[in-house]
Structure 1
């Protein structure tokens, strides 16, 4: 185990922002080949870091805990994704980076769940004790609630562009 990965804490909002550059549902920005390569390296580095942190948080839970089991399965899948080497062409690197981004997004979610972190659904920043928040329910096209949670009061009138 690398000492750097155990002492350095992941910046989840920055990771989520970078993930948003790639995933189609966020309408990612066009990236040059160099930017795509740099983003793939960022995702690889932070996937390694978050695998360690999610595993450490999961091991604090009882062995029969379902969130622990699911989080550990996610770390195994993410580790498998790290071992893939894409072909050098742009399409292969883009597909690889998107797969890694989805695995990293899942790791972020497991990290939040295991550490009892609640995130603002508008800005992806942690909701801290004492901050003014508002309930938020995002309706899906089918009529059900797609995401329910809370947002910072300051985020109530902002438009999310991802």
Structure 2
């Protein structure tokens, strides 16, 4: 990995983005007491604003007909549409909108990791290398498949602080 590539990866906080998503997906119909949906929505938007240009830049390095490039750019288009949208004014509209952003942010993180080859452990914030033993987050959390992140096998059994 070149110094330029390392600097490119430092711009995006995939672990922080996935941790933010984990606060929203999956949840019961009502958010937990004390969850500031407006602040969380702003954080999701900030992560998306940082990821989108990076994904476009990385996708631009691929051949025009490359499938990962096409899929990543389609995801960027969907994400931009969600960012332009507004929450419904009815009850629960803010939470529903935040969840849409969270699902879009998860997809952006997936595409960023695919394009860059970077996979981060969401438990310890260290990269997962090809030689590391890793497991899907679904196996160690109650995400119900909503989050596609991976963790080091040793992190899966480590106690994590409660949120």
Query: Aligned residue pairs: how many?
Result: 149
Higher strand share: 1
Q: Normalising to structure 2: TM-score of the pair?
A: 0.73
- The alpha carbon displacement at 1:157 in A equals 2.4
In the alignment, the residues of structure 2 paired with residue 8 and residue 135 of structure 1 have an alpha-carbon distance, to the nearest angstrom, of 22
- Normalised by the length of structure 1, the TM-score is 0.73
Q: Which residue of 1 aligns with 2:23?
A: 21
Of 102-111 and 82-91, deviating more is 82-91
RMSD: 3.7
Which ranges in structure 2 are unaligned for 5 or more consecutive residues? 1-7, 140-144
Distance 1:54 1:125 in 2: 21
Q: Where has structure 1 moved over 6 Å in runs of 4 or more?
A: 25-29, 137-140
Q: Deviations over 1:84-131 (max 9, x none)?
A: 1114555111000000000011000000000011333765642248xx
- Pairs within 5 Å for 1:87-106: 87-88=88-89, 91-106=92-107
Give the C-alpha shift of residue 136 in structure 1.
Answer: 3.7
1:28-107 matches, within 5 Å, as 30-32=32-34, 35-88=36-89, 91-107=92-108
Secondary structure of the residue aligned to 1:24 is coil
Q: Which has the larger radius of gyration?
A: 1
